Amino acid sequence: MKYIIGNWKSNKNHLEVEDWFQKFSQFFVKEKATSFNNLEIIVCPPYIHLFLTKNLRDKYKLPIKLGAQDISPFDSGAYTGAISAKMLSEFVEYVIIGHSERRTHFGEDDKILSQKVTMAKDASLEPIFCIPDKTSFIPDSISIIGYEPVWAIGTGKTDTPENADGVAVFVKQKNPGSALIYGGSVNPENALNFLTTKHIDGILIGGASLDPIKFWEIIVNASKI
Ligand code: PGA
138 burial level (CB within 10 Å; 0-12, 13-18, 19+):
buried
Check residues 32 and 105 and name the one with the higher pLDDT: 105
Element (H, E) at 145: strand 144-147
Q: Return mean pLDDT, the chain.
A: 96
Closest ligand 1 atom, residue 184 Cα: 5
Mean pLDDT of 22-43: 87
**Quick one: pLDDT band at residue 33, thresholds 50, 70, 90?**
low
Catalytic residue, candidates 148, 189, 199, 217:
148
Reduce the DSSP state of residue 127 to 3 states and report it: strand
Q: pTM for the whole thing? A: 0.97
Instruction: With a cut of 80, say whether residue 32 has pLDDT above it.
Output: no
pLDDT of residue 8: 98
pLDDT digits over 173-212, tens only? 999 999 999 999 999 999 999 999 999 999 999 999 999 9
pLDDT at 112: 98
Tell me which amino acid residue 62 is: L
Give residue 36's pLDDT band: very low, low, confident or very high (50, 70, 90).
Answer: confident
CA separation for the pair 173, 141 (Å, rounded)? 13
Show the beta-strand stretches assigned E in 64-110.
Answer: 65-68, 94-97
Instruction: Give the span between the Cα atoms of 49 and 26, in whole angstroms.
Output: 20
Q: Is 82 left (phi over 0), alpha (psi -120 to 50) or beta?
A: beta
Task: Transcribe 24-39 into DSSP letters.
Answer: HHHHHHHTTT---TTE
- How much is the average pLDDT of 1-27? 97
Residue minimizing CA distance to atom 1 of ligand 1: 206
14 catalytic? Reply is no
Percent of the chain with pLDDT over 90: 94
Residue 117 · residue 142 · CB < 8 Å? yes
Known catalytic membership, residue 217: no
Provide the CATH number for the domain around residue 36: 3.20.20.70
The yes-or-no verdict on residue 30 having pLDDT over 90 is: no
pLDDT average, residue stretch 128-141: 96
Contact 121, 93 (CB under 8 A): no
Helical ranges in the chain per DSSP H: 14-30, 50-59, 85-88, 100-105, 110-122, 161-174, 191-195, 212-222
Examine the pLDDT at 37 and tell me if it is beyond 90: no
**Whose CA is closest to atom 3 on ligand 1?**
206
Distance 130 CA to ligand 1 centre (A): 11
Query: Per the structure, how many domains does the chain have?
Result: 1
- Which domain does 142 fall in, by range? 2-223
Mutational pocket test of ligand 1: of 9, 70, 94, 205, the residue with most ligand atoms within 8 Å of the beta carbon? 205
